[in-house]
């Protein structure tokens, strides 16, 4: 069923290969293309898995509607350039990469992969005065962490700052651990993807599984939240008594289980679970690919000896597929531009997200301090 859904919409739930985007898809988006797409620039976003770039292969990706070409130099350094030749705009990914420079397939201009500086224009004669080294292709800071190639997406028309912050790293709590990555595309604007990610009320309806919980286990909950830089935290607490895996963990370690969940701009949900010496840490990011398409990248690490990677992946994929199928159905409804609601308290995290985003943009616009939409500790109550 999922396969069919996915195929219809050209969506994928693959672990490795991101969907190759076609020009027609972008055009289908209509008049929204030139409007402010509501993206948050000047942040790191995961572009592809590190394992996808090897040898002299050039790989394409799209982030925030920017086409990218990625690769790895002979020295092993990942790079990301705008997939467009500054001469006539042909995608550089059609060109040739020799481990140091990318050669455009049209007129053979060559660009240094790390700096994107032009190093050769074959057509120039001895008479030409053109300063080749002053020509650059678009390029973006690039870093590898947790098995992903992260790209720092600077706002259109600006250069990367001198000092770029480090790319996010998943917190881990012991020397040895297992780690795995999953991904899933959603046919939605990034905001819908993010508020879906932090929505506490859909669990009993969307994520009904024998291994997780049933619809009948719904009960009233009360959780404490606090502001953190660029986000908010669900303060450390004992996780839901209606989730089987937490109960199992408690049985195995014989100790209490605590979980802490953070949301941090632009798009990140981090969860840490601890029980005695055992820990589980995960991060989900929702990255805008296009205005109408986003991608969840989910990475999890743990030192629980009884949880093999293969078993976790099976559960994880089921979970993501449930979200994906729901978002596919929602996209069907959103086509007709309905009025939507955010209710208290179950949708308060979603309101905070919009508040954080608006306040960040306002602070950037005015050059002032960002005002945090949450002023202190807050208790939210909902049933799930
Ligand atoms: S278009 Fe790339 S070299 Fe001319
Ligand atoms: Fe979900």
Q: Specify the 3-state DSSP secondary structure of 361.
A: helix
**CA atoms of 316 and 298, how far apart (whole Å):** 9
Which atom of ligand 1 lies at the shortest distance from residue 88's CA? 1
pLDDT value at residue 55: 95
**Ligand 1 pocket check for 92: Cβ under 6 Å:** no
Q: How much is the pTM? A: 0.89
Provide φ and ψ at 76, rounded to 5°: 95, 5
Q: How confident is the model at residue 219 (pLDDT cuts 50, 70, 90)?
A: confident
**Ligand 1 pocket check for 85: Cβ under 6 Å:** yes
Q: Candidates 81, 83, 104: which one to mutate for ligand 1, based on the most atoms within 8 Å of Cβ?
A: 104
Q: What is the pLDDT of residues 15-44, one digit of tens each?
A: 433 332 333 333 333 334 456 789 999 999
Q: How many CA atoms lie within 13 A of 230 on its CB side?
A: 9
**Ligand 1 pocket check for 106: Cβ under 6 Å:** yes
**CA atoms of 367 and 29, how far apart (whole Å):** 33
The residues with which 61 forms a beta bridge, in sequence order, are: 68
Q: Specify the 3-state DSSP secondary structure of 258.
A: strand
Among 2-11, 218-227, 331-340, the range scoring the smallest mean pLDDT is: 2-11
pLDDT value at residue 288: 98
**Nearest residue (CA) to ligand 1, atom 4:** 107
* Average pLDDT in the chain: 89
Q: Does the structure show a pLDDT above 80 at 217?
A: no
**CA atoms of 308 and 286, how far apart (whole Å):** 26
Contacts of 325 (CB under 8 A, 6+ apart): 1, 2, 5
**CA atoms of 330 and 9, how far apart (whole Å):** 13
**Ligand 1 pocket check for 88: Cβ under 6 Å:** yes
To the nearest 10°, report the CA torsion of 62, 197, 246, 147.
10
pLDDT value at residue 15: 40
pLDDT value at residue 241: 65
Q: Are 363 and 371 in contact (CB under 8 A)?
A: yes
Q: What is the pLDDT of residues 233-255, one digit of tens each?
A: 999 888 766 677 777 888 888 88
CA of 91 to the centre of ligand 1 (A): 9
In Å, how far from its chain's centre is CA 208?
Answer: 25
Among 74-88, 107-121, 191-205, the range scoring the smallest mean pLDDT is: 191-205
Q: What is the pLDDT of residues 343-361, one digit of tens each?
A: 999 999 999 999 999 999 9
Which atom of ligand 1 lies at the shortest distance from residue 121's CA? 3
Q: Specify the 3-state DSSP secondary structure of 113.
A: coil
Asked whether the bond before 128 is cis by omega within 30 degrees of 0, the reply is no
**CA atoms of 326 and 206, how far apart (whole Å):** 7
**CA atoms of 343 and 222, how far apart (whole Å):** 16
Which atom of ligand 1 lies at the shortest distance from residue 107's CA? 3
**Ligand 1 pocket check for 123: Cβ under 6 Å:** no
Q: Does the structure show a pLDDT above 90 at 6?
A: no
Q: Candidates 83, 103, 107, 132: which one to mutate for ligand 1, based on the most atoms within 8 Å of Cβ?
A: 107
- Which token pair is 164? 């770029």
Q: Which residue has the higher pLDDT, 373 or 237?
A: 373
Contacts of 77 (CB under 8 A, 6+ apart): 114
pLDDT value at residue 35: 62
Which ligand places an atom closest to the C-alpha of 111? Answer: 1
Q: What is the pLDDT of residues 262-303, one digit of tens each?
A: 999 999 999 999 999 999 999 999 999 999 999 999 999 999
**What DSSP letter does each residue of 13-81 carry, written as one string?**
--SSPPPPP-HHHHHTTGGGGGS------SEEEEEEEGGG--TT--EEEEETTEEEEEEE-TTS-EEEE
Q: Candidates 69, 81, 88: which one to mutate for ligand 1, based on the most atoms within 8 Å of Cβ?
A: 88
**CA atoms of 155 and 260, how far apart (whole Å):** 32
**What DSSP letter does each residue of 79-97 carry, written as one string?**
EEEESS-TTT---GGGSEE
Q: What is the pLDDT of residues 332-342, one digit of tens each?
A: 999 999 999 99
The residues with which 102 forms a beta bridge, in sequence order, are: 97, 111
Terminal Cα-to-Cα distance of the chain (whole angstroms): 27
**Ligand 1 pocket check for 107: Cβ under 6 Å:** yes
**Nearest residue (CA) to ligand 1, atom 3:** 107
pLDDT value at residue 10: 46
Q: What is the pLDDT of residues 42-101, one digit of tens each?
A: 999 999 999 999 999 999 999 999 999 999 999 999 999 999 999 999 999 999 999 999
């Amino acid at each position: 069923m999922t396969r069919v859904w996915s195929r219809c919409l050209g969506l994928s739930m693959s672990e490795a290969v991101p969907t190759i985007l076609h020009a027609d898809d972008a055009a289908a988006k209509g008049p929204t293309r030139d409007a402010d797409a509501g993206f948050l620039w000047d942040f790191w976003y995961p572009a592809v898995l590190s394992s996808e770039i090897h040898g002299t292969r050039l790989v394409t990706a799209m982030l925030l509607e920017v086409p990218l070409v990625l690769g790895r130099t002979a020295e092993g350094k990942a790079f990301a350039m705008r997939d467009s030749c500054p001469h006539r705009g042909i995608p550089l990914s059609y060109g040739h990469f020799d481990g140091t420079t990318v050669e455009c397939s049209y007129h053979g201009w060559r660009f240094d992969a790390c700096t994107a500086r032009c190093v050769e224009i074959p057509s120039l004669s001895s008479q030409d005065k053109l300063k080749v080294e002053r020509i650059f292709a678009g390029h973006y800071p690039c870093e590898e962490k947790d098995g992903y190639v992260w790209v720092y997406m600077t706002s259109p028309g600006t250069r990367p700052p001198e000092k770029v912050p480090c790319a996010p790293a998943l917190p881990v709590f012991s020397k040895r651990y297992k780690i795995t990555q999953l991904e899933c595309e959603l046919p939605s604007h990034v905001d819908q993807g993010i508020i879906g990610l932090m929505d506490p009320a859909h669990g009993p309806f969307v994520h009904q599984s024998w291994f997780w919980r049933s619809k009948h286990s719904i009960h009233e909950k009360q959780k404490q939240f606090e502001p953190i830089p660029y986000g908010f935290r669900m303060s450390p607490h004992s996780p839901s008594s209606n989730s089987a895996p937490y109960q199992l963990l408690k049985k195995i370690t014989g100790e209490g289980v605590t979980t802490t969940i953070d949301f941090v701009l632009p798009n990140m949900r981090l969860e840490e679970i601890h029980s005695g010496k055992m820990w589980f840490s995960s991060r989900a990011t929702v990255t805008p690919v296009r205005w109408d398409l986003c991608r969840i990248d989910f990475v999890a690490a743990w030192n629980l000896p009884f949880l093999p990677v293969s078993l976790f992946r099976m559960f994880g994929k089921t979970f993501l597929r449930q979200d994906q199928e729901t978002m596919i159905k929602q996209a069907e409804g959103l086509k007709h531009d309905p009025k939507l609601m955010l209710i208290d308290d179950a949708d308060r995290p979603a309101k905070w997200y919009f508040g954080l985003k608006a306040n960040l943009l306002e602070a950037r616009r005015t050059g002032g301090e960002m005002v945090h939409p949450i002023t202190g500790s807050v208790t939210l109550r909902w049933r799930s």
